[in-house]
Amino acid sequence: MSAQTTAISSIYKDMGISEEVYRYGEKMLEKLDARFRRIDETAEYNQLKVVKAMQDNKVSEACLLGTTGYGYNDIGRDTLEAVYASLFHAESALVRPQITCGTHALALALMSNLRPGDELLSVVGKPYDTLEEVIGIRDSKGSLKEYGISYRQVDLLEDGSFDYEGIRQAINERTRLVTIQRSKGYQTRPTLSVERIRQVIAFVKEIKPEIICMVDNCYGEFVERIEPTDVGADMCVGSLIKNPGGGLAPIGGYIVGKKECVENAAYRLTSPGLGKEVGASLSALPSFYQGLFLAPTVTAGALKGAIFAANLYENLGFKVVPDGSESRHDIIQAVEFGTPEGVIAFCEGIQAAAPVDSFVVPEPWDMPGYDSQVIMAAGAFVSGSSIELSADGPIKPPYAVYFQGGLTWQHAKFGILKSLQHCIDKGVIPGIPAHLL
């Protein structure tokens, strides 16, 4: 063992990682070199894609200054939206600090492009928990249901594939918008590749070309070399405190796609007659631009962390989604513990690895928008940022935890080792079998 390796091992020990957990992690990493190189190649491609979009749209120092008040003639805001449109090969983009989170961005896209009497169809089964009240699956003030917009869903088949015949039967004269959630949410189903999204969009458009196809792109940006708008999506929606914010954006969301869809969203966000013309960027623009610049590299580090976690826990006998070898299309890694204690211990370990609030112990609580208690570990520089090292999960069967993020690969690695160490210390995992060391 070299002196450098000994020094690294020593600081891990100082940070609470036992020798057996460290050795187990290093052994797993030996098998991942080639895969990590492919991730770096994708990051390089996407990095150049971001730089080209910024150069093509003539990003200047003046774009970083921001505005106040009404925000008329905000060159930085308007240029940033042009950058996003170029990057996603879309007609238009809405990128604003006034969009508070991913759920808000999705609600905005839906409410602005659906009208009373229309029907919303999900072709991936149940949407993410916080959208249930937006849609009206669970009653809530101001839901789509209250405005006379109906909803139906077609569940994925048992193997995670689309139920094409079910989709065909569900589409009717009222179907106005099809929503496709790329990531798994709090489910243990496969995340959708951009290619699979292309296939289902083509199928839907063949049946009814005028249907708007919207993709919830949260956690998927920059994982592949193309985005859903490259394969026919009319709208692509996401959060800036996930992948595209690069860990620097303090707030915000985006909607990119067809000009009419984006304009509808802008009129809903601000006011009819005003749309994209108002909305001051304040001091957010430097972090929006720089965060986007860093996003491909940050996403690559998070992706490595997810793959590392999958391999560590899968080899210990836990069900992981995706598994340790399958292709990746978002940064989320699910680990199914089967007990509340496992979910809680994992999250406590992630929190203990954080640079902020590492001394805090996370507890399950009745979080707004969810139908069960949820535990969240997130010692982040930006509150709630899930591109930073974080983990969360609902306290209900199958008791799966969802890990994501890490602004650097090195921190993601430490967080996963810390989660494993904590599970061992809490008795959730008896230890590392000798044959794995």
**Section 410-419 average pLDDT:** 98
Q: What does the pLDDT look like over 23-63, one tens digit per residue?
A: 999 999 999 999 999 999 999 999 999 999 999 999 999 99
Say whether pLDDT at 3 is over 80: no
2 — pLDDT class (breaks 50, 70, 90): low
Mean pLDDT of 89-104: 98
Give me 345's structure tokens: 């211990």
For residue 386, the model assigns a pLDDT of 93
Is pLDDT above 90 for 129? no
Q: Is the pLDDT of residue 5 over 80?
A: no
Band of pLDDT at residue 86, cut at 50, 70 and 90: very high
320 φ/ψ angles, rounded to the nearest 5 degrees: -125, 145
- Contact (Cβ atoms closer than 8 angstroms) between residue 293 and residue 243: no
Q: What is d(CA 373, CA 319) in angstroms, rounded to the nearest whole number?
A: 22
Residue-wise pLDDT for 196-232, tens only, equals 999 999 999 999 999 999 999 999 999 999 999 999 9
Give me the pLDDT at residue 250, please: 97
Residue 396: per-residue pLDDT: 94
User: What mean pLDDT do residues 291-316 have?
Assistant: 98
Q: What angle do CA 279, 285, 286 make, to 5 degrees?
A: 170
* Preceding peptide of 362 cis, ω within 30°: no
Complete domains list, the chain, with CATH: 3-45+293-436 (3.90.1150.60), 65-283 (3.40.640.10)
* Percent above pLDDT 70 for the chain: 99
Share the mean pLDDT of the chain: 96
Smallest CA-to-CA distance from 134 within 97, 179, 94 is with: 179
Distances (CA, A) of 245 to 84, 241, 294, 407: 12, 5, 8, 11
pLDDT in tens, 152-198: 999 999 999 999 999 999 999 999 999 999 998 777 788 999 999 99
Query: pLDDT at position 368, please?
Result: 79
Virtual CA dihedral for 196, 180, 101, 352, nearest 10 degrees?
-50
H or E element, residue 377: strand 374-377
Count the neighbouring beta carbons within 10 Å of the beta carbon of residue 288.
Answer: 31
Position 77 pLDDT exceeds 80: yes
Compute the average pLDDT of residues 69-90.
98
pLDDT of residue 394: 93
Task: Pull the structure tokens for residue 341.
Answer: 């204690």
Amino acid (one-letter) located at 101: C
Q: Measuring CA to CA, how many Å separate 434 from each of 77, 274, 430, 437?
A: 56, 66, 12, 5
Q: Are 87 and 50 in contact (CB under 8 A)?
A: yes
Taking the C-alpha atoms of residue 327 and residue 331, their distance in angstroms, rounded to an integer, is 11
Condensed to tens digits (0 to 9), the pLDDT of residues 259-291 reads 999 999 999 999 999 999 999 999 999 999 999
Report whether 1 contacts 404 (CB < 8 A): no
| pLDDT tens-place string over residues 330-366 | 999 999 999 999 999 999 999 999 999 999 999 999 9
Say whether pLDDT at 370 is over 90: no
